Every structure is written in structure tokens, then in C-alpha cells.
Amino acid sequence: MDAFVILFPIIFVVLIGYSCARFKIFSTTALDGLRLFIFNLIIPVFLFLNMYQADLEQALSPHMLASFYLPVLFVYLLSCGIFSYVMGMERGDSTTLSLACTYSNIVLVGLPIIIASLGTEYGAMVFMIITFHSVLLFTCTFAFAANQQGRMREALKPLLLNPIVISISLGLLCNYVNLTIAHVIQQGLSLLSEPAIAGALFALGASLNNYSIRGAWRKALLISLIKLIVLPLLVYIIAKWGMALPHKQVAVLTLMSASPLGVNAYLVARQLQRQQAELASSVVLSTVLSVLTLAAWLTALVP
């Protein structure tokens, strides 16, 4: 499948969102309201419904989870060691940058690409990964970086109450206990969730207008190279040869790990007051460069 055909609609919607924010077609208040509508309602409904309808036997594979999380943890710890012992950074700074090297924008970028290239049936795999993705990496970062008593608990509380985490967990629970939801209600939820992907991409584009790569592009480039090349390459190797997963599962995991840095990592940096400029720059630069790297991965992985 032509990578351009897959990526162009996604890039198009992101650029529309960026342009609307850049040229002030919508006010800041309107865009903030749109983000709340999308991330607090539409996307949670979309994730809940898909998790509820997912085939858990395929999604709950320990080999699949290991193929993604073992490379993620390895790259996180390796990056932390490089930033700490080779570049001489403090622990808080090194762990924050390590988060930037491993935290993927799966919901806004990876999921639309996987659905467009491989089909909606592989969405369940994506949902299972992102159930633990933020919790694991944010917990590691706060645990290593926080040095004030009670700070980690206070910082993780909003994460555990995150609408995305809650919606996936509820969908998984309802699926597992075989809770029956009336068909008409499922149809209503499906209708409500239809703008989720397009709305998320639009909001991503609008958000990029708030960040810049000035002054921190060198670290941002290093982070982007690790995030977009090293991490997905390791995931591919472990999934294909270490765990011998089927080709399409390998493709899903690789594309997830090849997604650019998620904006939430920058919010963690702000909360920790560490490397904020570097993470903001990395969000923008990795998103731009991911157009090239994702095109390469799609060409290699998707027939």
C-alpha cells in the first residue's frame, strides 16, 4: 500500500488544525473548548466502545506486550544512562529526556495510521498497549525525578483519573465480564465517537502552533532520532525475531513505537519543571520528522 495514500489524509487534517490556530480562524477559547470536547468526551467514548467490542484473546498476548514494553524500558534506561553519565545531567533532567525518547503519541498519530493501513480489527492491540503506556512511563519518570515527599502521588493522581485511562479500563472490564449493552445504545455511542480521529488530528495540529524548536533543536534532534528510529527498530527486532509474532502484529507494534513524541510528555516536564524547552521542541520536531520515518516504516511493513 502506498505510504502517501495512508499519510496524506492524516497530515492534511493536522495542517488544517495548525492553520486554523496559526491564522486565528478560531479563537483560543473556541479551540480550548474543542480540545475539552474531543479529549474528555469523544475520544473516551471511541476508546470505550472499541475496547468493549474487541477480541481480547487476540489483544491480551503476553508476547505482544513484551515485544513493545521490553524495548521501551531498555531505551528509557539506556537514554537515562547516556544523559546522566555521558552528558553529565542531573537525574531529574535525564529522566525527563528519557521520557521524551520513549513516549509515543499513539492515540493521535499511531492509531489513525494503523487503522488506515491495517484495518480496524487491529485497534484492540493498540488499546491494550495504551492502557499501560502512560502509567508505566510517567510512573518511572516521577519516581526517578521526584525528590519531594508526596510529590509522585500528587503527580500521578491526575493520570489515574485521565478520561482515556478510565474509558479503556471500563471498556476492558465490561468486555471481560460480558456486560450486555443494548444495541441502540451502542449505535448512539458509535455515532458520538465518529469525529474522534479527525477531531484528535485537528486538535494536534492546533496544539503544535503553541510550541517551537528554537533554542533547543540539538537535543530535540537527538531525542527525535532515538524516538523515531532506534526505538521502533528495537521493537521490530524483538517482535519479529525475539517473539516470532505474526507479520501484522509486528507492523502494529512497530508503527506504534514509531509515532512521534506525545504532548503529554511536555506536560510532565512542566510539572517537574525540567527540560521544558527541550520537550516542547521535541514534540514539534519529532512530529515533522515522523512524516518521513513513518512513510519508510509503512513502505517496509504494509504490502
What is the rounded average pLDDT of the residues 257-266? 88
Compute the radius of gyration of the chain from its Cα atoms: 19
| C-beta separation of 261 from 109 below 8 A | no
- In degrees and rounded to multiples of 5, residue 194 shows phi and psi of -55, -40
Question: Rounded to two decimals, what is the model's pTM?
Answer: 0.86
C-alpha cell at 105: 503519541
Residue 29 has pLDDT above 60, yes or no: yes
Percent above pLDDT 70 for the chain: 92
Look at residue 300 in the predicted model and tell me its pLDDT. Answer: 92
pLDDT in tens, 235-261: 999 999 999 999 999 999 999 999 999
Residue 13 has pLDDT above 60, yes or no: yes
Domain residue limits, the chain: 3-298
| C-beta separation of 206 from 18 below 8 A | yes
Helices (H), the chain: 3-22, 28-37, 43-52, 56-59, 62-81, 91-102, 111-118, 123-145, 151-160, 163-176, 183-193, 196-208, 217-225, 231-237, 247-257, 263-272, 276-301
d(CA 245, CA 153): 37
CA-nearest of 7, 32, 164, 145 to 89 is 145
For residue 182, CA distances in Å to 50, 51, 54, 267 come to 15, 16, 16, 38
Residue 216 has pLDDT above 70, yes or no: yes
C-alpha cell at 219: 537535543
Highest mean pLDDT: which range of 39-48, 197-206, 222-231, 278-287:
222-231
Look at residue 149 in the predicted model and tell me its pLDDT. Answer: 43
As a residue count, the chain comes to: 303
C-alpha cell at 272: 517537574
d(CA 119, CA 201): 18
| C-beta separation of 276 from 270 below 8 A | yes
What is the rounded average pLDDT of the residues 204-216? 78
| C-beta separation of 95 from 80 below 8 A | yes
| C-beta separation of 15 from 208 below 8 A | no
pLDDT in tens, 49-103: 888 887 766 666 788 889 999 999 999 999 999 998 888 888 888 999 999 999 9
Look at residue 98 in the predicted model and tell me its pLDDT. Answer: 94
Residue 108 has pLDDT above 50, yes or no: yes
Look at residue 262 in the predicted model and tell me its pLDDT. Answer: 86
What is the rounded average pLDDT of the residues 148-152? 50
Of 142-151, 189-198, 294-303, give the lowest mean pLDDT range: 142-151
pLDDT band for position 175 (cuts 50, 70, 90): confident
d(CA 41, CA 191): 13
- The top-level CATH class assigned to 3-298 is mainly alpha
